[in-house]
């Protein structure tokens, strides 16, 4: 039996940190060797997430003072907030040039550092690292990820939207001017920070859109849609909050071009995903539900006729914490460390 | 003090029946004189809806054998399932030609009986009554409703969609070929019938679209959108289910025509609803939440910029059981009986 | 028509403040003349609670600098956090000795200032006012409340537990050594402060006890149970959190003494509450559900046989924000201002 | 690699059937060879539970006409409704005397067939099989289960209550006359039958007790409590419904006898469960939450002081579909087939 790879999770007190911990605790080839959480440093993980109470895990430590060169980590997951991430990753590579990192923040997702500056309001602090970073949507960039040292794990909305649309853009099967993405997310997508608008009593028994017209995730969608289409694409995109913990569903309205019917679009997706283990295309006319992918790394996609001739509705569903964040990050890790891509990600969805 | 109007509710054991009862119990000018529920006939209302336990209400009776001529009812709410409704209303008018009825089913909403036959799969059974029926969207047909004997109360999805879009169509302010309505509803919209897919465990912690491409409510939307636009309009429309009890939110993607900006569309709505007590337009850029209209007869509407130049997002929210069904029905009753339009509908939303 | 009483709400940005606003907006004899919220001072109420967007309300102001003498308020609701409350109320009475105040905090509920010091860890800061304060459980202290200037509105858990048990203690019908109260509350009972453990994702899809063995509300229960029994009574009490917004249910296990059967206990409650408008006793064997009192000022109580001979189970349900807080506060206001006790509190529960 | 054991699931269209399928799909030593569901016979499992869409599973068949002798099944899970179960299991043993069966119904849990007749209203139809049946609470009957051919898998409420209390009774550490169990369950415990009272809109945003004083599960608790105590024990027991999918929490009020303090009771449990992989005792004073065991086979138990001297509160939490039903059934299967007890049950809880 080969030695287990030693893994660090930076920012383990958030939901993506907990999800990484859940998945890695049962991964046969890795060992969780480091957990950081600055505000909770010194506490056992069970104080922060009681579900881990029965398991052996390292005590939470602060990021400060870690000697990255001697830490002996084979791969690091970075689940830190935007802003701190760039500096932390810079310092890791400075100490250990051969480090391998999967970053779950948005900091390295935009290849164009000027687009970054425009969306985030400040110059990128590690543009040289941005050049090394590979965008971690496995189904598109699998080959590059295997060689990468720094992978920018995609956002949850964008993973869901891209898996629904990218093959259609690549095949030039849809009109690029009329893409409308109406997206809905569970509350874990908003993280674990204590904010009034995220309290149970503010969220339960209600539904709303937010960030209408100016959600930051759009930059990432623009980049990848344009790359797939070979020309500039801007889609309409509206995120909404659903009173549930996990799940994203994207309802995408498209128009087939050059006479392509909705069934033709279904055929394009079928071909694109025939060999993908984590993308499951439903029979034409069936559409997915978030509850059927909960806790799994699966994306379910369906295609149906719109009422307007020539238009189709493509709907994709995934678990924002798994395929939309930590599950995809483990998928990336598996590629970077030479493990089978699906290892540790075999969980069947938990329904009901 | 004038005598109270005597009111009957047919189909009182469903959710719209309960909502009518809740509202009418506190209406100063009416008295609930008749409650029917065939399966529960003979039972007190408190067995069917324990929240009414402290109040005096008539015992539930069967529809069969009611002598409509002698029942002494000033107005009847018909909250019966599709199909039985036409026959029941026919028999009421046969016995009492001057009856006043607000029908909450879909049976009399389509003016074109051929459209009805196409959508519902059988010929309309009371085409002569269809001619008398007035479509009960108060903000549009107020004048006709005051004279009507039979009002077809609009559906919940359609009320929400129409209030968001009709003034824009009337003003010829938007492109009629690119209207996308992405609608989301709480579970009470699906009624109280015991179906597996409506069980708590099937619904909670999940989100999905349904009836994609072929929801029956579209016929009603087509009719009213086309009437407003003065030409045939077909909008894309996808309904979704939210794990909450009450509320509908419609996210509508439109394109302003002849250079109209989103702020221009906002101005059109502002003018249209300046005097409406139950439609509240939010300041430009703000968008509504269903929780803020819960239990009230209010519709909140917001308009924001889309990312695509020339496009706007209009979002409307209402409570599907109140403004989307029983509240609007009481609003219709008030007009038909000559009461102030808002009487008994003053409840402030229950949040949280 | 008599002039409307002018009312102030201190701490209007919390849930009890919102509930007071909801109720008072529709109360025929009052006018909301002052709303305070220190952190949100200067903002319109609609920014803090968008459901009030359609209504005219005073802008939120800071407590500092209010001249209580000239403010012209007929009654003040104090919905401030524990600690600040005592000082604020002291300053109000100093400026305006004939002020009338209903305090929704716990600051004036314990008649024994030493018990207060023991439970809250510091000496009471206004012991002379404590002497004036009347405990505002209307069904018990109605006569005193009518004369009071300062009413200490009871807590939500304690209102629910007391209404279930007090008449049994007064009638000496149960064993005082074996009272077990297992209580469950919706999340609004925990207030609107942004705390991690109150986030939607921490609360949804789960259930737990908290504060086991040492909840502060117990002091209030001890005081009132002992007063009713005429001797010291300590009950077991465990609060739990339910993933819902509103509602408290208390399951109380008692043993009838001197041969009293559960039906005898039911008879005691029936007699005690025969004339109460806001306490509704269900037929023997039926037990209440929180959903059937949601948004109303009602308390539903049921009594059933335990499996153990001689023991009974008494279950009470109320809405923690209405009868458990703001509704009861308005009930107290009505008594203090000479209005009919139920005025403005007639809302029927919102179900579903 | 040894051949995989062939497994049948009878009644696969219910929630316990789905949970068995979820667990067995990832169990390294078994293969799902048969799935039955009479109403859904002929359909693929993905039509009944879409979460299984990506996996290969047998088509659902009817029970009728299965030749149990030739079916080649190494073990059968019986997740059928009460009533049919006895006849089906009888016919299986008649055809294949060496069959191994884990029954998830209540049909074989009561050793005393007269107690069965009293609680269920009819004579037991397979009393000779009842003699063979072993009660499948692994932590108590592990040794017998390894030899058993027919295991009666315990109920969810009873598993939770028993794990909290049995060691205390065996150690004669608590008063047997004053045990109060206040239990709360998620909705999946009520099964998948389409009933009005289980609809989302009837359940969400509310809380209630049910079956007060006469829940059938009490017979099972009586039997096992009495066996552990060595004398007749009757506990008070009240079940409640929580608006969540999964989870049971039992709050148990006990009185230590012969001077035993709550910490002594904690010590008794600590000793009893020191080697149990699926029972996790929290440090004294901490109490469990259902969300932290969701989807796992864990039971978390906590002990705390009651306010009344001499009394303690013991709280246990488990997932009703996993440890409370299908997970425990797989645990039983592992013992019966000679596999490691925890095999296939290693999933970490899914939180949030």
| Inter-chain residue contact A50 with D289, CB threshold 8 Å | yes
Residues of C in contact with D251 (CB under 8 A): 182, 209, 238, 240
pLDDT score, position C215 = 73
Sheet of C299-305, strands arranged across: C208-209, C236-241, C180-185, C248-255, C311-318, C299-305, C279-281
| Inter-chain residue contact C351 with B51, CB threshold 8 Å | yes
Q: What single string gives the DSSP state of each residue in C82-136?
A: TTHHHHHHHHHHHH-TT--EEE-SSTT--S-HHHHHHHHSS--S-HHHHHH-EE-
**Digit-coded pLDDT (tens) for A278-299:** 999 999 999 999 999 999 999 9
Tokens of C22: 């909801």
Rounded distance, CA B112 to CA A339, Å?
Answer: 64
Q: What's the 3-state SS for D277-332?
A: CCEEECCCCCCCEHHHHCCCCCEEEEEEECCCCCEEEEEEEECCCHHHHHHHHHHH
What is the share, in percent, of chain A residues with pLDDT greater than 90?
Answer: 93
Chain D residue with CA closest to B198: the answer is D199
Residues of A in contact with C200 (CB under 8 A): 187, 198-200, 202-204, 243, 245
Rounded distance, CA B124 to CA C189, Å?
Answer: 52
Residues of B in contact with D294 (CB under 8 A): none
Given a contact cutoff of 8 angstroms between Cβ atoms, the answer to whether B101 and B78 are in contact is: yes
Number of inter-chain CB pairs under 8 A, B vs C: 84
| Inter-chain residue contact A195 with C196, CB threshold 8 Å | no
Determine which one of A32, A76, A137, A156 is catalytic: A156
Mean pLDDT, residues B160-179: 97
| Inter-chain residue contact D243 with B201, CB threshold 8 Å | no
Which ranges constitute the DSSP H helices of A194-282? 200-203, 217-229, 262-272
pLDDT score, position A1 = 62
Residues in a beta bridge with C256: C174
Q: How does the average pLDDT of chain A come out, rounded?
A: 96
Which among A199, A203, A205 has the least Cβ separation from residue C194?
Answer: A199
| Inter-chain residue contact B238 with A245, CB threshold 8 Å | no
First-to-last C-alpha distance (Å) of chain A: 37
Mean pLDDT, residues A234-247: 97
Residue A195 in contact with partner chain C when CB distance is under 8 A: yes
Given a contact cutoff of 8 angstroms between Cβ atoms, the answer to whether C154 and C109 are in contact is: yes
Chain centroid offset of residue B227 CA? 18
Residue C3: Cβ within 10 Å count: 8
Residues of chain C with pLDDT under 70: 1
Residue D305 in contact with partner chain C when CB distance is under 8 A: yes
Task: Mark which residues 205-234 of A lie under 8 Å from B by CB.
Answer: 205-210, 212-214, 218, 234
Residue A216: Cβ within 10 Å count: 13
Residues of B in contact with C350 (CB under 8 A): 22, 294-295, 350
Which among D178, D184, D213 has the least Cβ separation from residue C307?
Answer: D213
Which among D26, D188, D349 has the least Cβ separation from residue A352?
Answer: D188
Number of inter-chain CB pairs under 8 A, A vs D: 84
Given a contact cutoff of 8 angstroms between Cβ atoms, the answer to whether C250 and C189 are in contact is: no
Which among B26, B52, B282 has the least Cβ separation from residue C53?
Answer: B282
**Digit-coded pLDDT (tens) for B234-266:** 999 999 999 999 999 999 999 999 999 999 999
CA distance C262 to chain D (A): 11
Residues of A in contact with D344 (CB under 8 A): none
Confidence at B65, pLDDT banded by 50, 70, 90: confident
| Inter-chain residue contact A201 with C188, CB threshold 8 Å | yes
pLDDT score, position C1 = 62
Given a contact cutoff of 8 angstroms between Cβ atoms, the answer to whether D136 and D145 are in contact is: yes
Which among A205, A294, A307 has the least Cβ separation from residue B234?
Answer: A307
Rounded distance, CA A328 to CA A320, Å?
Answer: 10
Chain centroid offset of residue C180 CA? 21
Angle (CA) B344-B345-B347 rounded to 5° is 110
Instruction: Return the active site residues of C.
Output: 156
**Digit-coded pLDDT (tens) for A103-135:** 999 999 999 999 999 988 899 999 999 999 999
Residues of D in contact with A298 (CB under 8 A): 54
Residue A56 in contact with partner chain D when CB distance is under 8 A: no
Rounded distance, CA B199 to CA B211, Å?
Answer: 18
Rounded distance, CA D312 to CA D296, Å?
Answer: 27
| Inter-chain residue contact A213 with B304, CB threshold 8 Å | yes
pLDDT score, position D120 = 87
Rounded distance, CA A177 to CA B13, Å?
Answer: 49
pLDDT score, position D261 = 97
| Inter-chain residue contact D204 with B245, CB threshold 8 Å | yes
**Digit-coded pLDDT (tens) for A331-345:** 999 999 999 999 999
**Digit-coded pLDDT (tens) for B317-326:** 999 999 999 9
Given a contact cutoff of 8 angstroms between Cβ atoms, the answer to whether D61 and D73 are in contact is: no
Q: What does each of the 352 residues of chain D score in pLDDT, given as a tens digit?
A: 679 999 999 999 999 999 999 999 999 999 999 999 999 999 999 999 999 999 999 999 999 989 999 999 999 999 998 878 999 999 999 999 999 999 999 999 999 999 999 888 899 999 999 999 999 999 999 999 999 999 999 999 999 999 999 999 999 999 999 999 999 999 999 999 999 999 999 999 999 999 998 777 789 999 999 999 999 999 999 999 999 999 999 999 999 999 999 999 999 999 999 999 999 999 999 999 999 999 999 999 999 999 988 999 999 999 999 999 999 999 999 999 999 999 999 999 999 9
pLDDT score, position A287 = 98
| Inter-chain residue contact B204 with D195, CB threshold 8 Å | no
pLDDT score, position D18 = 98
Give the three-class secondary structure for B256: strand
Tokens of A217: 């995730």
For the CA atoms of chain B, what is the radius of gyration? 20
Which among B235, B237, B249 has the least Cβ separation from residue A207?
Answer: B249
Rounded distance, CA C41 to CA C292, Å?
Answer: 36
Residue C67 in contact with partner chain A when CB distance is under 8 A: no
CA distance A121 to chain D (A): 32
Chain D residue with CA closest to B191: the answer is D201
pLDDT score, position B1 = 62
| Inter-chain residue contact B194 with D192, CB threshold 8 Å | no
| Inter-chain residue contact A305 with B213, CB threshold 8 Å | yes
Residue D346 in contact with partner chain A when CB distance is under 8 A: yes
Which of the other chains make 3 or more beta carbon contacts under 8 angstroms with chain A?
Answer: B, C, D
Q: How does the average pLDDT of chain B come out, rounded?
A: 96
Determine which one of B18, B150, B156, B321 is catalytic: B156
User: Looking at the predicted structure, is the pLDDT value of residue B24 above 80?
Assistant: yes
Long-range contacts of B213-216 (CB under 8 A, 24+ apart): B213/A304, B213/A305, B213/A306, B213/A307, B213/A313, B213/B238, B214/A307, B215/B157, B215/B239, B216/B106, B216/B119, B216/B120
CA distance D319 to chain C (A): 10
Mutation target among B18, B50, B249 for the C interface, most CBs of C within 10 A:
B50
pLDDT score, position B83 = 78
ipTM over 0.90: yes
**Digit-coded pLDDT (tens) for B191-224:** 999 999 999 999 999 999 999 987 777 899 999 9
| Inter-chain residue contact B204 with A311, CB threshold 8 Å | no
User: Looking at the predicted structure, is the pLDDT value of residue B127 above 90?
Assistant: yes
pLDDT score, position C2 = 74
DSSP character at residue D244: S
The beta strands (E) that lie in chain A are given as: 5-10, 30-36, 75-78, 101-103, 134-135, 150-152, 180-185, 208-209, 236-241, 248-255, 279-281, 299-305, 311-318
| Inter-chain residue contact D192 with B198, CB threshold 8 Å | no
Residue D55: Cβ within 10 Å count: 15
Chain B residue with CA closest to D241: the answer is B200
For the CA atoms of chain A, what is the radius of gyration? 20
| Inter-chain residue contact C51 with B292, CB threshold 8 Å | yes
pLDDT score, position A144 = 98
Which among A182, A207, A238 has the least Cβ separation from residue B290?
Answer: A207
């Amino acid at each position: 039996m080969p030695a287990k790879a030693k893994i660090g999770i930076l920012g383990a007190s958030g939901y993506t940190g907990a999800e990484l911990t859940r998945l890695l605790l049962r991964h046969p080839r890795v060992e969780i060797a480091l957990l950081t959480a600055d505000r909770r440093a010194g506490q056992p993980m069970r104080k922060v997430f009681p579900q881990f109470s029965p398991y052996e895990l390292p005590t939470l430590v602060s990021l400060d003072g870690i000697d990255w060169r001697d830490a002996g980590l084979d791969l690091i997951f970075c689940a830190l907030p935007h802003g701190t991430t760039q500096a932390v990753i810079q310092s890791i590579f400075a100490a250990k040039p051969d480090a391998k990192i999967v970053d779950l923040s948005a900091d390295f997702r935009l290849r164009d550092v000027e687009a970054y500056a425009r969306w985030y309001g400040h110059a990128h602090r590690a543009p040289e690292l941005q050049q090394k970073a590979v965008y971690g949507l496995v189904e598109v960039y699998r080959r590059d990820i295997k060689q990468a040292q720094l992978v920018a794990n995609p956002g949850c909305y964008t993973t869901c939207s891209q898996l629904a649309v990218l093959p259609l853009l690549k095949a030039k099967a849809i009109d690029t001017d009329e893409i409308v993405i109406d997206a809905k997310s569970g509350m874990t997508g908003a993280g674990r920070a204590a904010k009034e608008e995220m309290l149970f009593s503010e969220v339960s028994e209600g539904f709303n859109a937010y960030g209408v017209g100016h959600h930051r995730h759009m930059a990432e969608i623009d980049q990848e849609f344009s790359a797939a289409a070979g020309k500039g694409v801007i889609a309409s995109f509206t995120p909404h909050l659903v009173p549930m913990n996990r799940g994203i569903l994207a309802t995408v309205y498209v128009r087939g071009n050059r006479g392509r019917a909705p069934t033709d679009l279904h055929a394009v997706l079928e071909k694109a995903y025939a060999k993908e283990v984590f993308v499951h295309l439903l029979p034409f006319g069936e559409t997915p539900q978030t509850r059927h992918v909960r806790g799994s790394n699966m994306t379910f996609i369906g295609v149906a006729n719109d009422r307007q001739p020539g238009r189709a509705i493509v709907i994709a569903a995934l678990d924002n914490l798994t395929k939309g964040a930590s599950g995809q990050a483990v998928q990336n890790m598996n590629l970077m460390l030479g493990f089978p891509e699906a290892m540790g990600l075999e969980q069947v969805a938990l329904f009901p």
